């Protein structure tokens, strides 16, 4: 195939195709999402969204146990959800090759923490490859699947945002013949049933596997030495390798493709040549600590930052202690431009209502996490997927009944099905009195609008059974389930108010499709306009924080609101906010 520009995620998808992967499963999460979206283009692979990462991995394990190659993808925090099966999968090993992609997010561009998942490789005793560009992302995906079968182990492939979402030139290869074991039952309980007697034996297999891999890795081309001027040595991997080449073009580099287990003899031999040796890596001193444990003195986190992304500028500053002198710096403070909920977003009125009702909102992960921002300012906690409901239960246990009534859990439809339902079962079972608001926009919106079991469509776009959220809530024992239209502000507020007062679990489902989903038959309404004669400058409409409503401070005595017709999609929330009937349909001319 011809040279082409691929992102790391596209390259991983291509690698999976070339390696004959049969099954791919994932839950969307930035920066991993596009892996499955691209795998879905290859008709030879059964690609699907799972309700969460644990299920995705379990599906992958099943495919592998059935003899087919499998790829499972998730973001770094997704591995926390999948960790339970992962650690035992390390013991069973595989039949068909199995690769788990962990897409980490140094700098937390779109995450709640910046954990370094190389630690999972060591913790779970699973080998981990780390590509440094798209070509390697493709090559290492193929390699990882081969290694998985050769060493009878799951293999992790770690990317970071700069690998996942950067594009570089790739020469794709030809699809290899699939694994010989594709699709047949083979009983082997001693290997696949991990009760203590079997698992004890497998643990010794795991340790032996790591020992033999470590020796093997000393002689593989993915761990390579690039010779420079011979004065300074650098050990590095992943995207840090590229920054090292950029900033230290003359250094000798040991470039590690396999970051666990490390090729110890190769490292010893390399290190012995230099007086000055650097380990250049992002986030944790993962390689550094293991190199130090070999008795080798190195510079690493004594110079480099442990928090945040490494960048060429940060690396340069760390190694040369010189800050970049910018040629131009603005002389005035610039206003920030944080992301915002879209014009017409159905979540907006919910947060407005919660703010007005002075609720304490336990929040969750999704677009609606933006509800914490001004002027809505209506989200008080945010931990991880599914946490909002459990958090609300815990809070109400320590508050007096009057205060407990203020606690409301807010969760999206996809997140509710991810891990929220477990919290709701606990809420009912343990007699919590909190209120749960499910913001059902019928899509996993945050990551770019992926389907989920509540949307009625599969990843391949086929229609499928749609989970009935009302029935689901009732079936776990919730007696009070109400569905509302969040575009009706007054009704929304009244229902939430009533349910907050109720000394029993209640679920309110606020249902309106995401404005950006074209499939759903929401008619885009004509844009609205402010009648300048009627606008009193009271600013009530501004409390929605809608990007389409702009404030003109110099108009009239007190200033006036103006609606940007390019952004407005006519949802009508602002006209409900206006007490002076100043907002209506725009009349041209």
The answer on whether 218 is annotated among ligand-binding residues is no
Q: Which of residues 295-324 bind another protein (CB under 8 A)?
A: 311-313, 316, 324
Q: Rounded to a whole number, what is the distance in angstroms from the first to the last CA of the chain?
A: 55
Q: Which residue has the tokens 């080449």?
A: 245
Minimum CB distance to another protein smaller for 46 or for 139: 139
Instruction: Tell me the window of 58-66, 174-182, 274-282, 545-553 that interacts with another protein (CB under 8 A).
Output: 545-553
Closest approach of Cβ 85 to another protein, in Å?
26
The answer on whether 546 is annotated among ligand-binding residues is yes
Minimum CB distance to another protein smaller for 155 or for 283: 283
Q: How many CA atoms lie within 13 A of 276 on its CB side?
A: 10
Residue 1 interacting with another protein (CB under 8 A) = no
The answer on whether 578 is annotated among ligand-binding residues is yes
Q: Which two tokens stand for residue 161?
A: 């945002």
- Cβ pair 546, 570 in contact under 8 A: no
The rounded distance, in Å, linking the Cα atoms of 17 and 46 is 11
The rounded distance, in Å, linking the Cα atoms of 73 and 316 is 33
Q: In what order do the strands lie in the sheet with 435-440?
A: 360-362, 407-412, 435-440, 506-511, 480-484
Residue 246 interacting with another protein (CB under 8 A) = yes
Q: How many CA atoms lie within 13 A of 521 on its CB side?
A: 0
Residue selected from 510, 545, 568, 583 as contacting another protein according to rule CB under 8 A: 545
The answer on whether 345 is annotated among ligand-binding residues is no
- Cβ pair 39, 45 in contact under 8 A: yes
The answer on whether 514 is annotated among ligand-binding residues is no
Instruction: Tell me the window of 272-280, 378-386, 475-483, 546-554 that interacts with another protein (CB under 8 A).
Output: 546-554
Residue 542 interacting with another protein (CB under 8 A) = yes
Residue selected from 122, 167, 264, 497 as contacting another protein according to rule CB under 8 A: 167
Q: Shortest CA distance to 364 belongs to which of 394, 384, 391, 340? A: 384
Q: Which of residues 250-289 bind another protein (CB under 8 A)?
A: none
Residue selected from 43, 204, 325, 475 as contacting another protein according to rule CB under 8 A: 325
The answer on whether 384 is annotated among ligand-binding residues is no
What radius of gyration do the chain's Cα atoms show? Answer: 27
Minimum CB distance to another protein smaller for 23 or for 341: 341
Taking each helix axis from N to C end, the angle separating 387-398 and 421-429, rounded to the nearest 10 degrees, works out to 30
Residue selected from 305, 526, 547, 565 as contacting another protein according to rule CB under 8 A: 547
Site string for another protein, 122-141 (x = CB under 8 A): -----------x--------
Minimum CB distance to another protein smaller for 334 or for 398: 334
Q: Shortest CA distance to 20 belongs to which of 142, 112, 106? A: 142
The answer on whether 574 is annotated among ligand-binding residues is yes
Residue 329 interacting with another protein (CB under 8 A) = yes
Q: Shortest CA distance to 11 belongs to which of 154, 179, 118, 129? A: 129
Residue 536 interacting with another protein (CB under 8 A) = no
Residue selected from 14, 20, 25, 33 as contacting another protein according to rule CB under 8 A: 33
The answer on whether 538 is annotated among ligand-binding residues is yes
DSSP one-letter string for 377-419: ----B--STTHHHHHHHHHHHHS-HHHHTTEEEEEEHHHIIII
Can you say whether residue 164 is alpha, beta or left, with left for phi > 0 and alpha for psi between -120 and 50 degrees?
A: alpha
The rounded distance, in Å, linking the Cα atoms of 413 and 454 is 7
Residue selected from 230, 308, 339, 477 as contacting another protein according to rule CB under 8 A: 339
**Under rule CB under 8 A, how many of the chain's residues touch another protein?**
61
Q: Which of residues 435-464 bind another protein (CB under 8 A)?
A: 445-448
Q: Which two tokens stand for residue 135?
A: 């070509």
The rounded distance, in Å, linking the Cα atoms of 13 and 87 is 25
Q: Shortest CA distance to 418 belongs to which of 23, 93, 157, 29? A: 29
Residue 341 interacting with another protein (CB under 8 A) = yes
Task: Provide the annotated binding site for [4Fe-4S] cluster.
Answer: 535, 538, 541, 546, 568, 571, 574, 578
Q: Which residues bind another protein (CB under 8 A)?
A: 3-5, 30-31, 33, 109-110, 133, 161-162, 165-169, 239, 242-243, 245-246, 249, 311-313, 316, 324-330, 332, 334-342, 367, 370, 373-375, 445-448, 539, 542, 545, 547, 549-551, 553, 559
Residue positions forming the annotated binding site: 535, 538, 541, 546, 568, 571, 574, 578
């Amino acid at each position: 195939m011809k040279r082409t520009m691929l992102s790391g995620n596209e390259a991983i998808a291509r690698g999976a195709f070339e390696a004959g992967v049969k099954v791919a499963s994932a839950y969307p999460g930035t920066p991993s999402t596009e892996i499955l979206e691209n795998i879905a283009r290859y008709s030879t692979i059964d690609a699907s969204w799972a309700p969460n990462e644990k299920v995705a991995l379990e599906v992958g394990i099943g495919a592998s146990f059935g003899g087919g190659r499998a790829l499972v993808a998730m973001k770094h925090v997704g591995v926390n959800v999948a960790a339970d099966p992962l650690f035992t999968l390390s013991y069973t090993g595989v039949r068909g090759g199995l690769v788990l992609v962990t897409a980490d997010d140094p700098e937390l561009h779109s995450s709640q923490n910046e954990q370094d998942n190389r630690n999972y490789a060591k913790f779970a005793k699973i080998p981990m490859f780390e590509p440094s560009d798209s070509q390697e992302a493709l090559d290492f995906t193929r390699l990882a699947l081969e290694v998985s079968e050769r060493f009878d182990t799951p293999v992790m492939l770690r990317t970071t945002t700069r690998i996942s979402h950067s594009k570089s030139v790739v020469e794709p290869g030809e699809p290899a013949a699939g694994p010989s074991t594709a699709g047949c039952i083979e009983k082997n309980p001693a290997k696949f049933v991990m009760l203590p007697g079997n698992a004890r034996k497998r643990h010794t297999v795991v340790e032996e596997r790591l020992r033999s891999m470590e020796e093997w890795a000393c002689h593989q081309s993915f761990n390579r030495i690039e010779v420079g001027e011979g004065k300074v040595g650098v050990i590095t991997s992943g995207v840090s390798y590229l920054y090292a080449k950029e900033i230290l073009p003359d250094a000798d580099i040991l470039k590690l493709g396999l970051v666990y287990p490390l090729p110890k003899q190769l490292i010893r031999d390399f290190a012995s040549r230099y007086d000055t040796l650097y380990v250049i890596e992002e986030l944790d001193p993962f390689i550094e600590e293991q190199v130090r444990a070999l008795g080798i003195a190195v510079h690493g986190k004594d110079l480099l930052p442990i928090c945040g992304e490494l960048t060429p500028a940060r690396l340069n500053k760390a190694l040369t202690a010189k800050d970049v002198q910018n040629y131009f710096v603005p002389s005035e403070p610039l206003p920030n431009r944080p992301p915002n909920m879209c014009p017409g977003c159905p979540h907006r009125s919910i947060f407005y209502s919660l703010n007005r009702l002075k609720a304490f909102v336990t929040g969750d992960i999704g677009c609606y996490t933006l509800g914490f921002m001004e002027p809505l300012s209506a989200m008080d906690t945010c931990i991880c997927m599914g946490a909002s409901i459990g958090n609300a239960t815990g809070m109400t246990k320590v508050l007096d009944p009057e205060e407990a009534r203020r606690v409301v859990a807010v969760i999206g439809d996809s997140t509710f099905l991810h891990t929220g339902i477990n919290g709701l079962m606990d809420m009912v079972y343990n007699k919590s009195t909190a209120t749960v608001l499910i913001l059902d926009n019928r899509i996993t919106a945050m990551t770019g609008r992926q389907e989920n079991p509540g949307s009625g469509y599969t990843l391949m776009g086929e229609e499928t059974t749609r989970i009935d959220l009302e029935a689901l809530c009732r079936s776990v024992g919730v007696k009070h389930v109400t569905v509302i239209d969040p575009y009706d502000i007054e009704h929304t507020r009244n229902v939430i108010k009533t349910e907050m007062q109720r000394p029993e679990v209640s679920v309110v489902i606020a249902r309106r499709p995401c404005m950006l989903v074209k499939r759903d038959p929401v008619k885009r309404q004509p844009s609205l306009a402010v009648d300048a004669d009627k606008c009193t400058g009271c600013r009530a409409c501004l409390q929605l924080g809608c990007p389409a409503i702009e404030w003109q401070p110099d108009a009239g005595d007190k200033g006036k609101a103006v609606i940007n017709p390019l952004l407005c999609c006519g949802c009508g929330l602002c006209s409900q906010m206006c007490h002076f009937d100043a907002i209506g349909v725009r009349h041209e001319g």
